[in-house]
Amino acid sequence: MLLHPNHHLNRAISLAPYYRHSSQELDTQSDVDDTDMESFSSSTLPTLDEEAEYNGAFAAPPVVTSDPTGTTLHARPSATVNVRDTQSAVDYSHYHRPSPVKKRFKCVSRNVTSGSLNDDAVQMQLQDTLAGKVQRDYPVADFIHAVWGLDPEHLVAPLGGYKLPERSVMLYMRGQYNKKVGRLPERDAYGPLLDIFNFIADQVKTAMGSLFPGTGISLVDTANRPVLGEFGDIKPDFLYSWLNGEDKQHWQLAGVSGELKKLLDAMQRFFSLDIDISQLALTPKPSSEEPNNTNTTRQNNPSPPSIPPSEPIPRKAKRKAVDLDLATRGAAKRLRSATRSVGSVSSNVNRNVLTAHEAQAVKYVNELGSHGIRAYSSGFLIEDYKMSLWYMDCDGAVKSTTFHIFEEAHYLVHFIAAVTTASLSQLGFFPMLKTPPLDSPADHANLLANYNGFALPLANAQDLDGVEHQELEFSLDTTSRWIIPSFGVLGRATTVVPLLASNDEAKAVCGSDTTPLIKISWQPSWRRGEDVIIRAVRMKLAQDNRAKAFLRNVVELKCSLSRSMEEMGLPRATMFGVGSSDRVCRMLVMREYLPLLQVESPEHFEVVFVDVVQAHHEVYITCRVLHRDISHNNIMFYYRNPAKKLNPVGVLCDWDLAQDVGLGVDLDTIMADLLRHRIGSEKIDQYLEDFPCLKPSPSNNSPLGGLPDLATGRAAARYRTGTGPFMAIDLLLYRQAPHHLYRHDLESFFWVLLLFLLGFSFKDHSFTMANTWLRDFKTTGDNKIKYLQDPEVREEYSALGSKEFQAYLEKRVTRIRSKLIAPIYEDYTRFSTLWDHLQSARTEPHVPQPVVSPQPAASVPADDGYRPERSEDSDDDARDIESDKEELRALVKHRESLLTYESFMKCLGYRV
């Protein structure tokens, strides 16, 4: 999805992040998924508001209720950023734009008082998304070293050593819930904890400031105030931020999130206020499995400093013991540090379920990763006296071993030192970004507020012809254009960034389009890259004299680059025992286009829509490539005469889920998909003799240079792909993911046409979508069937959308629905009835079984072309099984003949 960042609608046009299952992919053989924020089984389908790229993600995911009110997208004003002074950083008083969540979802589950998304709903979403994707008990020092890049050996102590502030510690221990003043349970502990962190941070600055100046980030208490952001009013307890504590905070200007749960009011314990950092050490790792840590360790100090800025404390110095027994407050249970595993990471399945407190903390970490241009995000959770550290990236979450913030304060010092001295890339920002010289927190705040000033070198990127370029230089161009952020850190986490070609080589590659966009996403490494698909498609089209005319309708690639986590030096690649990532970062520089919501008239919409349908078909027959993700977001356009907004040209974008279909899918394979759905995977073996089509068959060869779908060259597992509300009903309802057919994409075009007919307004270029279409797979599929078959249901939608638009396209939509789409699912019902009869013939061959023919839907023509012959005695005796099988096959054949390119274009009013 490439959006045109220069238009006021762009930041609010994409519904996909909340319901798009672009690769919610179910392995039909093993029920193992590889989804973008996808985690579900074939028996429990995910909700469509998870988006996932599911693209994704779902920063603070909405949960759609049964309220019939629609979901509307609106324009938003641009940001206003002002610097008050070098101490205060950025003023966001005019920045609070309408949130996409608030604008898009009028029926979400929200807190009545604050208006924020209910924690229960968010946490349930996180539980589903992170199921099986949480690694636990990573050793603390190793975690800090991997994520924030500070080796314990590089930690320097100030004169006299690190210490805890006695008064703040005592006040924190007394912190409790006070119902009389209506405070939250952890409110009394906020201030003292902040003082403890800042007290240690000051010591770190004294000892290490000249060696590792950091970025000037500091911990601020959000005081239970919403933090400004793109996706909702989220209220973390703490943020490491470049803004002053009294300023309005923004997720884009934060580096680490924090959550506090403080319920105990005291502890009986003797411990020292002196902190012994000599206890810090990395876990020894086998030399043969030592990860490459060179990219994350502090580069300006490869070895421990020989001359510290001040006299270091002797490592074995006597420490002052303090009695912190608060007897007057009552005795409390002694807290013990969690036992840490050494050299291994727990992967116990039961422990992959997030607790309520963990889900709350992870929600903030995910929200942080949804703002700006980031490769990962991090945070911390403190529960009374136990602290855990969290890391999230496209593959999931890693949690450190918990530690006691007072008894094991050396870990707290290590954490605070690492965060406050880390670089931007070590705080999770995209590591390939090149920053200008920055001197103060205000400089960092201004830079991160709009990213103007960042450079993005793309050395070794390949152009459209596959030629490698050594010195491509781009700069981020956000003066009048916007970054389109990812909607969550998990999965593909797609971010679209406006660029300017900076040097001559980049300008030569971009040609006349010197203001392209770059699409940054984390794709499965086994899946063929979108850039590879685009190159192959454009090359095939260019070689055909007839097909080359459609090059204008396929997204134009300028250059591309792929990097692994290892090559980018990201934490997961350096974490021992966590496991390598199966994703790579793909960066595609492309021409920018206008989103479909910016069409100016029904006539322009029709031109763009028909252009894309025709190009999609041409790519399919010429290149044997199927797009598999048709949605309103992926249909874009440009004007041949942009000054006057004349002569629009439709462009089909976002080819990252496209698949080489080779010689196609034969009728036996299509029938096998339908049978698997009816039978269920657990009973397939019982039918192999009667239905040989159920036996596995080799995949077809590829016409695009013999490139396999998988790096192994093996047959690809089948996945559900597409954008929820626009997916074909077969893809939504089949219990096991069927082969994705050309007619499935045609059906997606129909749903795009229908939903635009029902919900698009030319007046304000908004798009309203009823919540009927924003549910889980099965519910959405069932609702689509109801729409096709029930005139009363269709009537409920008639009041939505632009009357002008409806008058122009309603007849076309009605023809496609009644002649093509509805008959397909009438045949589906006939197949089910016939299959039930066959089952009874197999199990009870001597008992007469009457066949009840379903009544045709009101929307299905009476002469639909299929009339199965029945013997006169079919209701008296069990039908011959072979005859039933032949009739099933004939029914499938008829079903597949209904929706074709020719029939679809004819219903649109075009001859082909």
Least confident residue range of 70-74, 140-144, 213-217: 70-74
- Percentage of residues of the chain with pLDDT beyond 90: 46
On average, the pLDDT of the chain sits at 76
- What distance in Å separates the CA atoms of residue 49 and residue 15, rounded to the nearest whole number? 9
Confidence of residue 875 (pLDDT cuts 50, 70, 90): very low
CA distances from 75 to 409, 450, 642, 759, 803 (A): 49, 19, 21, 15, 21
d(CA 192, CA 50): 37
Distance, in Å, from the CA atom of 395 to the CA atom of 580, rounded to the nearest integer, reads: 9
H-run or E-run covering 889: helix 881-896
C-alpha span between 282 and 342 (Å, rounded)? 10
- Who wins on pLDDT, 23 or 764? 764
**Alpha-carbon gap, residue 594 to 608, rounded angstroms:** 11
**DSSP H/E element including 172:** helix 166-174
Cβ-Cβ contacts under 8 Å for 57 (sequence gap 6 or more) = 17, 36, 37, 50, 51, 366, 370, 486, 487, 488, 489, 490, 491, 493
**Cα gap 487→492, rounded to integer Å:** 10
Q: What is the pLDDT of residues 704-724, one digit of tens each?
A: 443 344 333 444 556 688 888
Q: Which of the two residues, 351 and 763, has the higher pLDDT score?
A: 763
More confident residue, 245 or 903: 903
Alpha helices in 708-821 (DSSP H): 729-733, 742-759, 777-789, 791-796, 803-816
pLDDT at 557: 97
User: For residue range 621-630, what is the model confidence (pLDDT) as tens digits?
Assistant: 999 999 999 9
Residues 427 and 375: their CA atoms lie apart, in Å, by 9
Q: Is the separation of the CB atoms in 215 and 427 below 8 Å?
A: yes
CB 461 within 8 A of CB 477: no
Model confidence over 320-340: pLDDT tens digits? Answer: 333 333 322 333 332 333 333
Tell me which DSSP letter residue 687 carries: G
Question: Which among 90-99, 589-598, 667-676 has the top mean pLDDT?
Answer: 589-598
- Which amino acid is located at 462 in the chain? Q
Lowest mean pLDDT among 517-521, 674-678, 850-854: 850-854
pLDDT tens sequence across 188-208:
888 899 999 999 999 999 999
What pLDDT was estimated at residue 698?
54
Decide which of 215 and 874 is more confident.
215
Tokens of 378: 């991090």
Reference 147, options 211, 240, 221; nearest CA is 240
Q: Looking at residue 836, what is its pLDDT?
A: 77
803's CB contacts (< 8 A; 6+ apart) are: none
Position with higher pLDDT, 225 vs 464: 464
Q: Is residue 723 within 8 Å of 19, Cβ to Cβ?
A: yes
pLDDT of residue 810: 85
Q: How many CB atoms lie within 10 A of CB 694?
A: 20
Name which of 511, 512, 519, 525 is nearest 465 in CA terms: 511
* HEC letters along 215-284: CCCEEEECCCCCEECCCCCECCCEEEECCCCCCCCEHHHEEEEEEEECCCCCCCCEEECECCHHHCCCCC
Quick one: DSSP state of residue 597?
A: G
Question: Model confidence at 298, in pLDDT bands (50, 70, 90)?
Answer: low
Question: Above pLDDT 70, what percent of the chain?
Answer: 70
pLDDT of 497 strictly over 80: yes
* Token pair for 92: 């966001």
Q: Which of 94-103, 540-549, 755-764 has the lowest mean pLDDT?
A: 94-103
Query: How much is the pLDDT for 679?
Result: 85
pLDDT band for position 179 (cuts 50, 70, 90): very low
Q: Which amino acid is at 532?
A: V
Query: Which tokens hold the place of 107?
Result: 């029926």
**Region of 753 on the Ramachandran plot (φ > 0 left; ψ -120 to 50 alpha; else beta):** alpha
Nearest to 370 by CA among 265, 497, 230: 230
Residue 817 is given by DSSP the state I
pLDDT of residue 325: 36
DSSP code, position 718 = P
What is the mean predicted confidence (pLDDT) over 15-35? 32
- pLDDT confidence tier of residue 730, bands split at 50, 70 and 90: very high
Tokens of residue 64, six digits: 């759609």
With a cut of 70, say whether residue 763 has pLDDT above it: yes
Is the predicted pLDDT of residue 659 greater than 70, yes or no? yes
Instruction: Report the range out of 108-117, 239-248, 828-837 with the highest average pLDDT.
Output: 239-248
Burial zone of 585 (CB within 10 Å; 0-12 exposed, 13-18 middle, 19+ buried): buried
Give the pLDDT band of residue 176 (cuts 50, 70, 90).
Answer: low
pLDDT reported for residue 6: 41
Cβ neighbours around 559 below 10 Å, total: 25
C-alpha to C-alpha distances, 676 to 715, 790, 887, nearest whole angstrom = 18, 28, 17
SS3 string, 203-227, reads: HHHHHHCCCCCCCCCEEEECCCCCE
* pLDDT given for residue 32 in this prediction: 29
Q: What is the mean pLDDT of residues 679-686?
A: 80
> How confident is the model at residue 637, as a pLDDT?
97
Residue 137 pLDDT more than 90? Answer: yes
Query: How far is Cα 578 from Cα 536, in angstroms, rounded to an integer?
Result: 36
What domains are there in the chain, each with its CATH number? Answer: 119-279+354-427 (no CATH), 458-592 (3.30.200.20), 624-694+721-840+880-911 (no CATH)
Span 609-622, pLDDT tens digits:
999 999 999 999 99
* One-letter amino acid of 855: Q
What is the average per-residue pLDDT within 57-61? 28
Instruction: Please give the angle made by the CA atoms of 250, 251 and 254, to the nearest 5 degrees.
Output: 95
User: For 711, which DSSP code?
Assistant: T
